[in-house]
Structure 1
Amino acid sequence: MAPEAIAIGCSAGGLTALERLLAQVDPRLPQPLLVCCHTGSATVELMCELLARHTRLRVTEARERELPQAGTVHVAPSGYHLLIEHDRRFALSVDPRVSYARPSIDVLFDSAAEAYRDALVGVVLTGANSDGAQGLATIRGHGGIAIVQEPGDAESPTMPQAALERAGADHCLPLADIPSLLNRLCLA
């Protein structure tokens, strides 16, 4: 059974990693990609524009009560936690920061794992803190697939290393190999 969604988390070095990943993801991908990247900027509009230059997938900021769309990259808005409700619609929250971040990868991963159960792929890329490690454990606990960028390959290895230590991984690969794995998993 092919996954129904892909959740991706990253921080320091994340924009470059996402550009490289999305450039190689098959544009026929039928799953939505749910992206949480710590940017430190007031909006993600520029980030969406930059990512769109590297993929034929649609790239958009996630909006309250919107349903994730197939073949679309939905980016968590700055200053809000992005959650997936049980009906699989987006919800935005200004709850306190988690792991010093809002949006938090853990919040996205935890809620997506509840909504998609074993039909979710979680991906942790480069980053300078441990956000995403607990959420990836939740994804694996619900039977989803966990992919972690090889820490030695990451611009900032702290986040993928924390994910491996806390959650383990079904696949730990260099960034260059992650898109082909996603294509195989999701177009099966």
Structure 2
Amino acid sequence: MDALNIILSLLPKDFPVPIMIVQHISPVSDNYLVKFLDNACRIKVKEAGEKIKPEQGTAYIAPPNYHLLVETDKSLSLSVDEKVNFARPSVDVLFETAADAYGKNLIGIILTGANKDGSMGLKKIKKYKGLTIVQSPETAAADEMPKSAIAAVDVDFILPLNSIASFLCKIFGKKPINKTSININHMKND
């Protein structure tokens, strides 16, 4: 959750692409993560649902115990198929289906995590000429997912956690949110 908060809270409200997220969480988790991130960020954060067409400036988080998929028409869908890499939701499932839908226009990012989920999906994104980014293992709370991805794929960029949001903003010609201004704005509202 901390890694997502660090990245998403620095993205501007008008971030020009949708974001799809898989977070390994308990199958019986409530939607605290969605509420927390939506309150902490300028972009909208929602739980992903069936047949939603992702909108720019919005992050969609896979619900507990459901795989998040991207259909070829770029709508979202959910599945309770078998776990992949001991996880449901699985990063591999999201990445592999998103690669089919978005091809070279997809950016796949692997963050902190304690299994190998995401490596195969990142490999497919790279095969389809999408951009691949991995959090540097030294900055990860759990380094197994970043290390596994780096071992499996010739990733385009290995970045420290605190550089990922500004890198994404630079790609899309946006300025990241200044944390000082966020704190000042919150103080004004108190």
Q: Secondary structure at the match of 1:50?
A: helix
The structure number with the bigger radius of gyration is 2
Answer whether contact 2:66 2:89 (CA < 8 A) is retained: yes
The unaligned stretches of length 5 or more in structure 1 are 1-14
Q: Deviations over 1:26-52 (max 9, x none)?
A: 222110010000011524511001111
- What corresponds to 1:74 in structure 2? 60
Q: Secondary structure at the match of 2:109?
A: strand
Q: Deviations over 1:131-164 (max 9, x none)?
A: 0011011111101000100001100000000000
- What corresponds to 1:157 in structure 2? 143
Q: Distance in 2 between the 1:187 and 1:71 partners?
A: 14
What CA RMSD, in Å, does the superposition of the two structures yield over aligned residues? Answer: 1.1
Q: Deviations over 1:62-109 (max 9, x none)?
A: 010111111101000111111000001111111100000000000000
Matched, 1:182 2:168: yes
Q: Secondary structure at the match of 1:24?
A: coil
Q: Deviations over 1:105-146 (max 9, x none)?
A: 000000000000000000000000000011011111101000
Which has the larger share of strand?
Answer: 1
The TM-score with structure 2 as length reference comes to: 0.89
Q: Which amino acid aligns with 2:159?
A: L
Q: Distance in 1 between the 2:74 and 2:173 partners?
A: 21
1:9-158 residue pairs with structure 2 within 5 A? 15-43=1-29, 45-158=31-144
- What corresponds to 1:12 in structure 2? none
Q: Structure 1 segments of 4 or more deviating over 2 A?
A: none
Q: 1:44 to 1:183 in 2, by over 3 A?
A: farther
Aligned-pair identity (%) = 39
Q: Which amino acid aligns with 1:51?
A: L
Q: Distance in 1 between the 2:32 and 2:146 partners?
A: 25
Q: How many residues align?
A: 174
Answer whether contact 1:29 1:187 (CA < 8 A) is retained: no
Answer whether contact 2:11 2:42 (CA < 8 A) is retained: no
Q: Distance in 2 between the 1:55 and 1:187 partners?
A: 19
The unaligned stretches of length 5 or more in structure 2 are 175-190
Q: Distance in 2 between the 1:186 and 1:37 partners?
A: 24
Q: Which amino acid aligns with 2:156?
A: D
The TM-score with structure 1 as length reference comes to: 0.90
Q: CA deviation at 1:53?
A: 2.5
Higher relative contact order (CA 8 A, sep 6+): 1
Q: Secondary structure at the match of 2:7?
A: helix
Q: Secondary structure at the match of 1:37?
A: coil
Answer whether contact 1:44 1:75 (CA < 8 A) is retained: no
